Structure 1
Amino acid sequence: MKVAIVGAGKGGTAILKSLARLDEVHVSVIIDTNVNASGIKLAKKLNVDTSTSIEDINPVDTDMIIEATGIENVANTLHDKYGDDCKIIDSQGAFLIMTLVERDIETLEKLDAQMSAINETSLVVQNRLEEIATSVEDIHNVSEMLVNTTEASNKYIEESDKIVQYVNKIAQQIKILGLNANIEAARAGEYGKGFSVVASEIQKLANESENFAKEINDILVKLSTEIEKINNEIDNLKKLSQVQLDASNSVSAAVEKLKEETDN
């Protein structure tokens, strides 16, 4: 349908703005004696023809004329000149259209504002989700580093345990050596007193080495227990990180879907 609008004031502008959204309707021209009228300016932006005279209406190329001035003389002139060729909607019908159009435009503007707010919110949420994803990745890297550290610590504990076992063997050998020295000192009688003192010190050193090795072993056992606890916490941290990452991905997908729906 091809439409001509006479009057580019508030009503004509609203009608033009609404009709321009319809693919089924083509506004062929908008007419007003005021070249600075808002409807004339809008028509130029929309590449719609403009004129200052109703004489420029082509009845062959026009199905309907909307009279939006509310001026009786203009309405009469349109009926006299084009009434037989075109459907003419007078100012009362134009007012009804204008009222509906204004409500339509107001609703669309509210929807546009809401869509804009949704898009802005979606962008903020998306950025925060990206930050969360990055932090989860950092946590994962820290977890991997802790795993590597605990594995290295376990190896060191194993090596230390070997050393402690070796010290225990030496201590046992020293104790046997001290015991034999005491026996030989007792056989030597008076001449073996000095050697007996040395043997006692050797025996004492063996006992202290054995006790020291036991203390080290106890520490290593406690350290191993603590490392096991760390490993358990790392596993929990990985699980929590995965839950957080899955939740972030779900929210991100929902936001992306919302953006696609608002764009369509």
Structure 2
Amino acid sequence: MEWKALEKYGSTKTLQVGELLFREGEEGKEMFLLLQGAIEVYVERNEKKITLAVLREGTTFGEMTLLERMPRSANAKAIEYTKLLVLDEPSFRDVIREQGDFSWMLMKELSSRIRSNNLDVIQRIGQDLQDAAHQLGEYAHQITGMVTRVVESSKEIETNQSLLFQDIQEVSKLAEKISKSFDFVRTIANQTKILGINASIESARSGEQGKGFAVVAREVRQLSELSKNNAEETRKLLTDIEGRVKNISHSSEKSSTQCQKQTTENQQIEALIEEVLKLSERLVQIATTL
């Protein structure tokens, strides 16, 4: 239709390159007919600019905001020298009432735009779903690999813990045997001490002739006392070792139990990740049907 016929209903506005027409979130009280130039419609998300459309001569825009009395849903900026016809609500009503061709053109424009937007949204959602599903699948595969390695490590730790527990049991048995041997040494030391005492008594009875034997008897008693003291100290050390071995054995047994539980839990995690992978594949299937 002839756009000149509409200029009497509104006012014209010109924009230089880079000049902003409106911002997202602003109240929308006018619609626009692009008479000359080009307008970029865009949004800003996470400090990134996303271009939604580039509008050319003969395009109307802003009518949805005017009709619904909603804030602007995007930014609009001139990317060329631009001339616009601006219609406020009363002017827009006059055009709709008096210009049937414009009303028909506007309905076609809105219908086409809604259909195009729906297709764009579906394509974007489909692509986003595919990207998310592929990313989800990639993460799930990575997690599966890590969990598998953890399970293998847990099994190896469990095996090592079992071997360690067996070794600790053997060390405990050896400590018991050594303790019994030192009981025997202590008994010999006591007997030797008694023998030394008896020898001293006999040397005293022998008078001058038993003096040399008395020295030997004294040395035997001292050696016996020293052996006994050393046996007692060693026995205390062995008792301490046995106590510590038992503590280590108990901790090792608990650690082995925890490893078994961890292995079971890791296997459950693997099963859940398999379900995530299946869900990821399902998302891809849904995305491809959009």
TM-score (norm 1): 0.61
Residue 139 (structure 1) aligns with: 157
Query: Is structure 2 residue 145 aligned with structure 1 residue 127?
Result: yes
Higher helix proportion: 1
Residue 190 (structure 2) aligns with: 172
The partner residue of 2:212 within 181, 191, 194 is 194
Task: After TM superposition, list the pairs within 5 Å mapping 1:111-126 onto structure 2.
Answer: 111-126=129-144
Q: What is the CA–CA distance in structure 2 between the aligned matches of 1:127 and 1:159, rounded to whole Å?
A: 48
The partner residue of 1:158 within 176, 181, 191 is 176
TM-score (norm 2): 0.55
Q: Is the 8 A contact 2:169 2:249 kept in 1?
A: no
Ranges in structure 1 where 5+ consecutive residues have no aligned partner: 1-90
The secondary structure found in structure 1 opposite 2:206 is helix
Query: Is structure 2 residue 216 aligned with structure 1 residue 222?
Result: no
The partner residue of 1:101 within 119, 143, 150 is 119
Offset at residue 105 of structure 1 (A): 2.3
The runs of at least 4 consecutive aligned structure 1 residues that moved more than 6 Å come to 91-96
Residue 74 (structure 1) aligns with: none
Q: What is the CA–CA distance in structure 2 between the aligned matches of 1:150 and 1:131, rounded to whole Å?
A: 28
| Residues 127-176 of structure 1: per-residue CA shift (max 9 Å, x gap) | 11112112212221221122122112112112211210121121122112
The partner residue of 2:167 within 110, 132, 149 is 149
| Residues 166-198 of structure 1: per-residue CA shift (max 9 Å, x gap) | 211211221121111011111101111111111
Residue 42 (structure 1) aligns with: none
Ranges in structure 2 where 5+ consecutive residues have no aligned partner: 1-108, 283-290
| Residues 70-95 of structure 1: per-residue CA shift (max 9 Å, x gap) | xxxxxxxxxxxxxxxxxxxxx99888
Q: What is the CA–CA distance in structure 2 between the aligned matches of 1:162 and 1:232, rounded to whole Å?
A: 24
Q: Is the 8 A contact 2:134 2:280 kept in 1?
A: no
| Residues 60-79 of structure 1: per-residue CA shift (max 9 Å, x gap) | xxxxxxxxxxxxxxxxxxxx
The secondary structure found in structure 1 opposite 2:144 is helix
Q: What is the CA–CA distance in structure 1 between the aligned matches of 2:244 and 2:117, rounded to whole Å?
A: 77
Query: Is structure 2 residue 211 aligned with structure 1 residue 211?
Result: no
Query: Is structure 2 residue 200 aligned with structure 1 residue 182?
Result: yes
Query: Is structure 2 residue 269 aligned with structure 1 residue 251?
Result: yes
Give the aligned residue type for 2:139.
T
| Residues 221-247 of structure 1: per-residue CA shift (max 9 Å, x gap) | 000011011112112312332343233
Q: What is the CA–CA distance in structure 1 between the aligned matches of 2:196 and 2:175, rounded to whole Å?
A: 31
Higher strand proportion: 2
Offset at residue 97 of structure 1 (A): 5.5
Q: Which has the higher contact order (CA 8 A, sep 6+)?
A: 2
Give the aligned residue type for 1:130.
T
Percent pairwise identity: 25
Offset at residue 116 of structure 1 (A): 0.2
Q: What is the CA–CA distance in structure 1 between the aligned matches of 2:202 and 2:186, rounded to whole Å?
A: 24
